[in-house]
Amino acid sequence: MNIPADLRYTPEHEWVLIAGEVATIGITDYAQGELGDIVFVELPAVNATTAQMKSFGTIEAVKTVSELFAPLSGTITDVNAKLADRAELINQDPYGEGWLIKIKFSNPGEISQLLNAADYQKQIA
């Protein structure tokens, strides 16, 4: 199981990469494995706002549809447009080309509420 140590995680299986005031968000390797073949993802528009742990979209696999939850509050600055035609990138490279959105977060204190890699590993064990 791939759980990069430099990322933060939510109990709902989203990962977060913090770079300055922007957080890149995706779903974990564990989550994509549990979902199976991902066929569609619905993401918000750029400049939309979101609140921590509120739904920002959905991800559809062959077997199920799941909500996506924002790890942090803020404004969407970028959406992975490649996923519109190639949702399978989430299965192939969940921590790279399969990222979902970028958020300029508005409350840095929320970062401390996210799990580190060791705690996330314990959760899914």
List per-residue pLDDT tens for the chain, 125 residues long.
Answer: 799 999 999 999 999 999 999 999 999 999 999 999 999 999 999 999 999 999 999 999 998 999 999 999 999 999 999 999 999 999 999 999 999 999 999 999 999 999 999 999 999 99
Give the list of residues 6+ apart from residue 85 with CB closer than 8 angstroms, or none.
Answer: none
pLDDT at 57: 97
Q: What are phi and psi of 72, to 5 degrees?
A: -140, 155
Bridge partners (DSSP) of residue 102 are 24, 78
Name the residue ranges covered by the structural domains of the chain: 8-107
pTM score, two decimals?
Answer: 0.96
Q: What are phi and psi of 116, to 5 degrees?
A: -85, 175
**Topology classification of domain 8-107:** OB fold (Dihydrolipoamide Acetyltransferase, E2P) (2.40.50)
pLDDT at 116: 97
pLDDT at 44: 97
Give the list of residues 6+ apart from residue 9 with CB closer than 8 angstroms, or none.
Answer: 3, 15, 16, 28, 114, 115, 116, 117, 119, 120
